[in-house]
Structure 1
Amino acid sequence: MQFTEFDLDSKLITAIGKMGFENATSIQQLAIPEALTGRDILASAPTGTGKTAAFLIPAIQYLMDFPRRDPGFARVLIMTPTRELAYQIHEQCNLLAEGTNLKIGVVTGGINYGSHKEIFEKNNDILIATPGRLMEYLETENFHAENVELLILDEADRMLDMGFRKEMLKICEQATNRRQCFLFSATLEGEHVEKFAERILNEPIKLEATPSRKEKGKIHQWLHLADNYDHKVELLAALLNSEEVTKAVVFVKTRERLEKLVGELFAKGIKTTWLRGEMPQDKRMTAMASFHSGKTNILVATDVAARGIDVNDISHVINFDMPRTADIYVHRIGRTGRAGKKGTAVSLIEAHDAEILGKVERYTDQKLKRRVIEGLEPKHKEAKAPKKKKDPAKIKAKKKAKKKK
């Protein structure tokens, strides 16, 4: 389905065309027509399938259909979990709103409180914000949500997981005059998203996009066995120096490991940029700008610091350290193979990773291929994951059931 088939303003169609988009993705085909009718929406779609445009396009169309009559605060409020996502949405929103006179602002933490003063003093049509910082402005009465007509919660599942439930509810309560609300989530699994949606949405239509093969992309996964930390560094350097790696994210488990690894890669002539927790916002933005532009093609990051990374052309995700849980593994590797492209995820496995590797293989329902790099073959055999201890209560119950039979 082409964007020209939607009931959209010609200026918006022109902006979409300039961005290189012609055909709508599955989530856009589902969400845009429903949003244009004025309905509340509860939608799920994997990251990298055009979710942002699915809510920005109807939001901009709404503002064009119903121009502002009186001066005031934002009429469209978009809440998102992280600073990086807020700035990425802001960038896409500016491109889609080209040719209009809409004023678009962004408010996040990590920037001195009060530096957003200009956004609140002037007319603002669309505000993109992280919940924590927006809540501060609400409490000090620098921002009022009564003008909000369209409220959009992006990646609601992650905001809830990050502990923003109270702030999200408070902001929803403050936006008393809203006409419409969209809640977008990567998944609707589990009760917490749907229960939260029940509290804030009014008779929503539930949309679950099943991306086509073209949208899904494919992630090739394999692992290299490593004898120790130094062996892992050698394996990583060999991988990063290969021609296939055009843009890579390397995951480590702690800030200390990150600093050590970045130094060791630098000593080997491998230039990287990095993200770690509690990093000043200006430095985070500089690092991401360097990675986005291709000035640096390797980003080393911790899981906490990497929240919100949304870059389409990542060729490789490398787990220098394995994550704590299998679902984090899936979230990590989902940063490659996006928008129908192929991607590669490589894990470097030491003996102590046997247990989490077993969990990952069960969770993803596939055994990761074992590969070797010539000259860097492991000296030790693969450690086996410890067997699960049998639950005595379950054994008893089974025996009882057998006797009854």
Structure 2
Amino acid sequence: MTPDWEQLDLDDSLVEVLLGAQLNKPARVQQAVIPLALGGADLLVTSPTGTGKTLAFLLPALQHMLDFPRRHPGSARVLILAPTRELAQQIAEQADAFEPTTQLKTVLITGGVNYGSQHDQLDQPFDILVATPGRLVDLLGADRVQLEQIEWLIIDEADRMLDMGFATTVKQIVAETRKLQQSLLFSATLDSAGVRKFSAEIQREPQELVIDPSKREKGKILQRWYQADTVDHKLKLLLRLLQEHPGRRIVFVRTREKVDELSSKLQQAGIRNLTLRGDMPQNERQQIIARMENSADSTMIATDVAARGLDIEDIALVVNFDLPKQADVYLHRIGRTGRAGKSGLAVSLVEAHDAENLRRIERYQKIKLERRVIDDLRPQYKFPDAVKKKKKSKTKDSKSAKAGKVGKSGKVGKAPGAAKSKAKPRPKS
């Protein structure tokens, strides 16, 4: 039976906000994380996107500050790092919802925003700092922010943080948190050995949690793919899909240049669209997201900058116009639909040169994606069945075979997997 919020030892001021938002019961990840976090453990948590992980780390952090109030206002006691502006904004908005009842103030620091306005915020007393690593390091270097009072460090989407090359930057930030008591790392996947290694370097014997959402919480995402012979064929498939699936749609491409190119082609076909790229100022990006949220029938073309942290309700369709090379990026893209227990559709348009990427995604999920065909847009060319193995170099056996002798090949063993790194205690400062 799902416990009530009160059974997780949360303050009435927090429960009041949760019930007011019609969140009557904690999600599975919240049930697992909150008691352990309040018990003082460092945690390494794996949980899919869209299952309530933001509240899973935000609620115990808020409860900690309510349980141990400080006597005088000062700088942040809780630092939350996120890899993208969109995700940081989303976290800060959820934290802001608790300020009226808790009086705990949040400051958001990301790139794409004027430094002067951020300096003004940092000069005022606050309790929670939500930041992207790059901008935070810039402000640390300029001596505009102090982290000496940080007690809790929370890193969301640690796998994405590493993919974006922020490992060294985050370690630099951690070195500034001299009074750090506890850290929580959240990741959508632990398949990369780098996440555990990173955890071992900055955490103290973290307890590892792998959380699978319940059927009620886990949205159903139908995954399909269509073969595209050419770029023109691919565009025709996309146009048909957008016509057949009204509502909010996100189309993912690989590059910023492709965003503008595809946007122009859709406009010419009579489909108005929004674009989201990594080089946009933060205020412009927020305006675009707001326009998407305010329209029941809208199309957004985006690069992978939007694949994480973009939380827009009721995305009916996600289209991979360009199939990503990494399987985990694919999962984060399609995770924009089918959120909070709802259903969604994710479609990939696959050209012959992406055949191996498709198989990599299928192996990663251990499923076969459903292949679909539109009758009047059927592909004309055969899709590659498999990637041909490279020919082996000549060996003694192959030479003997040429001489009419039968060579015996030895068994090929699997390459040993990387040993799991064991977390080493970090000395307390």
Q: Could you tell me the TM-score, scaled by structure 1's length?
A: 0.91
Report SS of the residue matched to 1:399: coil
1:244-272: CA deviations, max 9, x gaps? 44222111222222212111211222121
Q: How does 1:211-360 map to 2 (within 5 A)?
A: 211-242=213-244, 244-294=245-295, 297-304=298-305, 306-360=307-361
The change in CA–CA distance for 1:113 and 1:367 in structure 2 (over 3 A counts) is same
Unaligned runs of 5+ in 2: 399-406, 412-429
CA distance in 2, matches of 1:68, 1:394: 73
Q: 1:181-196 to 2 correspondence within 5 Å?
A: 181-196=183-198
User: Across the two proteins, how many residue pairs are aligned to each other?
Assistant: 401
Give % identity. Answer: 48
CA distance in 2, matches of 1:396, 1:32: 61
1:191 deviates by 2.8
DSSP 3-state at the match of 2:389: coil
Change (3 A) 1:166 1:394: farther
Q: Does 1:401 align with 2:410?
A: yes
Structure 1 residue 193 displacement after superposition:
1.9
2:84–2:305 contact (8 Å) kept in structure 1: no
Q: Give, in angstroms, the shift of residue 166 of structure 1.
A: 1.6
Distance 1:362 1:109, change over 3 A: same
Distance (Å, rounded) in 1 between the aligned partners of 2:335 and 2:309: 12
The residue type equivalent to 2:410 in the other structure is A
Matched, 1:167 2:176: no
Does the residue aligned with 2:91 lie in a helix, a strand or coil?
Answer: helix
Which amino acid is the alignment partner of residue 293 of structure 1? Answer: N
Match of 1:109 among 108, 111, 115: 111
Number of the residue aligned with 1:43 = 45
1:206 matches 2:222? no
Local SS of the residue matching 2:209: strand
Cα distance in 2, alignment partners of residues 12 and 180 from structure 1: 21
Distance, in Å, in 1 between the alignment partners of 2:181 and 2:255 is: 44
Structure 1 contact 248–314 (Cα < 8 Å) conserved: yes
- Post-superposition Cα deviations, 1:93-134, rounded to whole Å, max 9, x if no partner, equal 112344221111100011122320122111011110011111
Which SS does the other structure have where 1:215 is aligned? Answer: coil
Determine if contact 2:11/2:63 at 8 Å carries over to the other structure.
yes
Task: Tell me the equivalent position of 2:401.
Answer: none
Which has the higher mean CA deviation after the structures are superposed, 191-200 or 13-22?
191-200
1:128 maps onto 2:130 in alignment: yes
Aligned AA (1:133): R
CA contact (8 A) 1:272 1:296 kept: no
Counterpart in 2 of 1:100?
A: 102
Give the 3 Å change call, closer, same or farther, for CA 400–258 of structure 1 in structure 2: same
Question: CA 1:399–1:93 in structure 2 vs 1: closer, same or farther (change >3 Å)?
Answer: farther
1:388 and 2:397 correspond: no
Q: Tell whether the 8 Å contact from 1:273 to 1:296 is kept in structure 2 after alignment.
A: no
Asked if structure 1 preserves the Cα contact closer than 8 Å seen for 2:42 and 2:205, the reply is yes
Structure 2 partner of 1:150: 152
- Whole-Å separation in 1 of the counterparts to 2:45 and 2:249: 30
Q: 1: distance between equivalents of 2:343 and 2:395?
A: 44
67-76 or 328-337, which deviates more: 328-337
Mapped partners of 2:297, 2:282: distance in 1: 19
Aligned to 1:119: 121
Give per-residue Cα distances to partners, 1:291-347, cap 9 Å, x unaligned: 233366211112245443233422211111222233332332222222222221111
Cα distance between partner residues in 2 of 1:229 and 1:330: 24
CA distance in 2, matches of 1:29, 1:198: 25
Q: Deviation digits for residues 268-303 of structure 1, max 9, x if unmatched? A: 221211112322222212111222333662111122
CA distance in 2, matches of 1:204, 1:323: 32
- Contact map agreement 1:218 1:337 (CA 8 A) in 2: yes
The answer to whether the 8 A contact 1:44-1:184 is kept is yes
Distance 1:389 1:326, change over 3 A: farther
How many Å apart are 1:374 and its aligned residue? 4.1
Contact 1:41 1:183 in 2 (8 A): yes
1:307 to 1:141, Cα distance in 2 relative to 1, 3 A = same
Letter in 1 for 2:389: K
User: Which amino acid in structure 1 is aligned with residue 238 of structure 2?
Assistant: L
Q: Equivalent residue of 1:375, what SS?
A: helix
Change (3 A) 1:313 1:390: farther
Once the two structures are superposed, residues 14-33 of structure 1 have per-residue CA deviations (whole angstroms, 9 ceiling, x without a partner) of 10111221121121111101
TM-score between both structures, scaled by the size of structure 2: 0.86
Q: Tell me the CA shift for residue 394 of structure 1.
A: 10
